[in-house]
């Protein structure tokens, strides 16, 4: 924290020499050794460190893949297969990179839901939250462009569907679309610019991560009670306490990661992406990767025009709106209490919100006209029941209501439970309860 004085004392001559010229060792010491962390952080707080690990793994494996990859519409698919077959441990590097993207999103969703549950976006952490949202948005863009690079069927048609969304913007949309695609269809120019941006954006993410950590170290970490640090008794130094706990969580995370990479490397992929892109043969079922499915469901949930606004534009607006609302969260929550531990009503709306997100994800992977369950059959014997698109609409309404109605309204109406006076009090109370 900013009011925490530096305790770094350079010992050797070279440390003193460097410290008076560029206090970089001091910065690292103050940030990652002596930095005071709330002593009641639980394992949901280990995902920040895990995410740094994910970014590092993606950048490292990505740089090596780029040495062997060919960004050309005719050669890209075979160059990826060459990595899998002939490059030394190329299969390992590519499977780590491809599954790493999924693991990265898995971790970021836990990190975001944790922030949501414990109110980590509330004052004074609004800028910290906004920076996190920017990272998430950049991650989506990077992952999307990365998925296009192997130039399989799903890569190609994913790029077609997503870039065409821009075309829904009135008046200027079609011109922007041509400019983005570098032509009148997704083709070699699109692949080349996506490769360029896919290499660039991770370093932009790394830059924003530095700002994110800086902002974190200015305001200090939130904690499960949502009560700010009041005294030294509330904290423990980052090293060794947080480092060993983060390290343990990282190892368990890596075990899950390894199970996918070594034993089910294609489980999260799609068979169609092992078919080279063919602009003349549209796959029967175009789906994005699992981590984008909830937003894809929201996009496809809007099947009706409103007045002069066509359904497609509404769908695109809803999809981007769903992401934009996450940015606005700090100003939508009216509650005085941060942690949902002390918000008996809101925490249940939160549980429903998590279920709604998972449900939207499931809907995103289905065809909109599939049935969630059938109730009866029509005269021709076709089953009738709840269509996936109707469930998507229902869940999308809850998604938006959660941010726009429930957050502001419940915050004003709810009677929160008594909040502990300090972190130490909460820890002592938990001990007393355990001993009972």
Partner 1 sequence: MNSFMTKTLKVAAGLALVASLTAGAAVASEGFKEPEDHHFTFEGPFGTFDQAQLQRGYKVYREVCSACHSMHLMSFRNLGQKGGPFYDPKYKNPNDNPVVKQIASEFDVADIDPDTGDEITRKATTSDRFPSPFKNEEAAKASNSGAIPPDLSVITKAREGGANYVASMLAGFQPAPAGLEVAATQHYNPYVHGALATSWKGDPHKVPLGGVLAMPPPLADDKVAYDDGTKATLKQEAQDVAAFLEWAADPHATERKQMGVSVILFLLLMAGVTYAAYRQVWRGKH
* Residues making contact with partner 1 (CB under 8 A): 39, 78, 81-82, 84-85, 91-92, 95, 236, 240-241, 244-245, 247-248, 251-252, 254-255, 258-259, 261-263, 265-266, 271-272, 274-275, 284, 344-345, 348-349, 351-352, 355-356, 358-359, 362, 370-374, 380-383, 385, 413-415, 427, 431
HEC letters along 193-224: HHHHHHHHHHHHHHHHHHHHHHHHHHHCCCCC
Whether the upstream peptide bond of residue 245 has omega within 30° of 0, thus cis, is no
Residues in the chain: 436
Measured in degrees and rounded to the nearest 5, phi and psi for residue 62 equal: -65, -40
Nearer Cβ to partner 1 (331/409)? 409
Q: Residue 385: helix, strand or coil by DSSP? A: strand
Q: How far is the CB of 383 from partner 1 (least distance, A)?
A: 6
Nearest distance from residue 396's CB to partner 1, in Å? 15
* Complex with partner 1: residue 94 or 125, whichever CB lies closer: 94
Buried b (16+ CB within 10 A) or exposed e, 134-161: bbbbbbbbbbbbbbbbbbbbbbbbbbbe
Q: How far is the CB of 262 from partner 1 (least distance, A)?
A: 2
* Tokens of residue 377, six digits: 């059959």
Is the distance from CB of 161 to CB of 316 less than 8 angstroms? no
Q: Which is nearer to partner 1, 24 or 358 (CB)?
A: 358
Q: Distance (Å, rounded) from C-alpha 115 to C-alpha 51?
A: 14
Give the Å distances, CA to CA, from 181 to 148, 152, 175, 185, 191: 13, 17, 10, 6, 9
Q: Give 261 or 301: the residue with its C-beta nearer to partner 1.
A: 261
Which contacts of 11-17 are long-range, i.e. CB under 8 A and separated by 24 or more positions? none
* Contacts of residue 16, Cβ cutoff 8 Å, sequence gap at least 6: 10
**DSSP three-state, residue 192:** helix
Q: Which is nearer to partner 1, 27 or 367 (CB)?
A: 367
DSSP label at 151? -
CB of 18 to partner 1, least distance (A): 29
Instruction: Report the nearest approach of partner 1 to the CB of residue 89 (Å).
Output: 9
- Answer for the pair 36, 238: CB distance below 8 angstroms, yes or no: yes
Smallest distance, partner 1 to C-beta of residue 75, A = 13
* Shortest distance (Å) from residue 285 CB to partner 1: 10
Which lies closer to partner 1 via its Cβ, residue 104 or residue 260? 260
Write down the least CB distance from residue 286 to partner 1, Å.
15
Closest distance of CB 50 from partner 1, Å = 14
* Helices and strands (H, E) in the chain, number of each type: 16, 4
Shortest distance in whole angstroms from residue 276 CB to partner 1: 8
Neighbours of 92 (CB within 10 A): 15
Instruction: Compare residues 25 and 352 and give the one whose CB is closer to partner 1.
Output: 352
* E strand segments, 325-390: 371-377, 383-387
Token pair listed for 310? 């066509």
């Amino acid at each position: 924290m900013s009011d925490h004085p530096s305790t770094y004392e350079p010992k050797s001559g070279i440390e003193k020499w460097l410290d008076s010229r560029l206090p970089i060792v001091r910065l690292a010491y103050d940030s990652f050794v002596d930095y005071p962390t709330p002593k009641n952080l639980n394992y949901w707080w280990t995902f920040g460190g895990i995410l740094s690990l994910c970014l590092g793994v993606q950048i490292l494996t990505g740089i090596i893949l780029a040495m062997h990859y060919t960004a050309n519409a005719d050669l890209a698919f075979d160059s990826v297969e060459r990595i899998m077959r002939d490059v030394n441990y190329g299969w390992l590097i590519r499977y780590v990179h491809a599954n790493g993207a999924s693991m990265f999103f898995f971790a970021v969703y836990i990190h975001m839901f944790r922030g949501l549950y414990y109110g980590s976006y509330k004052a004074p952490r609004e800028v910290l939250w906004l920076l996190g949202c920017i990272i998430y948005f950049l991650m989506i863009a990077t992952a999307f462009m990365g998925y296009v690079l192997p130039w399989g069927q799903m890569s190609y048609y994913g790029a077609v569907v997503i870039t065409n969304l821009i075309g829904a913007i009135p008046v200027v949309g079609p011109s922007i679309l041509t400019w983005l695609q570098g032509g009148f269809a997704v083709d070699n120019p699109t692949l080349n610019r996506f490769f360029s941006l896919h290499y660039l954006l991770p370093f932009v993410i790394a830059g924003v991560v530095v700002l994110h950590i800086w902002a974190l170290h200015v305001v200090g970490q939130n904690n499960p009670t949502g009560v700010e640090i009041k005294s030294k008794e509330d904290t423990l130094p980052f090293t060794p306490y947080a480092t060993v706990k983060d390290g343990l969580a990282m190892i368990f995370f890596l075990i899950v990661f390894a199970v996918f990479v070594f034993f089910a490397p294609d489980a999260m992929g799609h068979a169609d992406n092992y078919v080279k892109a063919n602009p003349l043969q549209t796959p029967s079922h175009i789906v994005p990767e699992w981590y984008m499915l909830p937003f894809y469901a929201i996009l496809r949930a809007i099947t009706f025009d409103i007045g002069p606004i066509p359904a497609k534009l509404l769908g695109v607006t809803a999809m981007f709106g769903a992401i934009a609302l996450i940015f606005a969260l700090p100003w939508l929550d009216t509650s005085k209490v941060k942690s949902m531990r002390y918000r008996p009503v809101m925490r249940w709306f939160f549980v429903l919100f998590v279920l709604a997100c998972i449900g939207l994800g499931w809907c995103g992977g289905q065809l909109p006209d599939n049935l969630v369950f059938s109730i009866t059959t029509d005269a021709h014997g076709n089953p009738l029941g709840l269509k996936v698109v109707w469930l998507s609409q229902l869940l999308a309404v809850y998604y938006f209501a959660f941010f726009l109605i429930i957050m502001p309204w419940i915050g004003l109406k709810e009677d929160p439970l008594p909040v502990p006076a300090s972190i130490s009090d909460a820890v002592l109370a938990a001990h007393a309860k355990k001993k009972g």
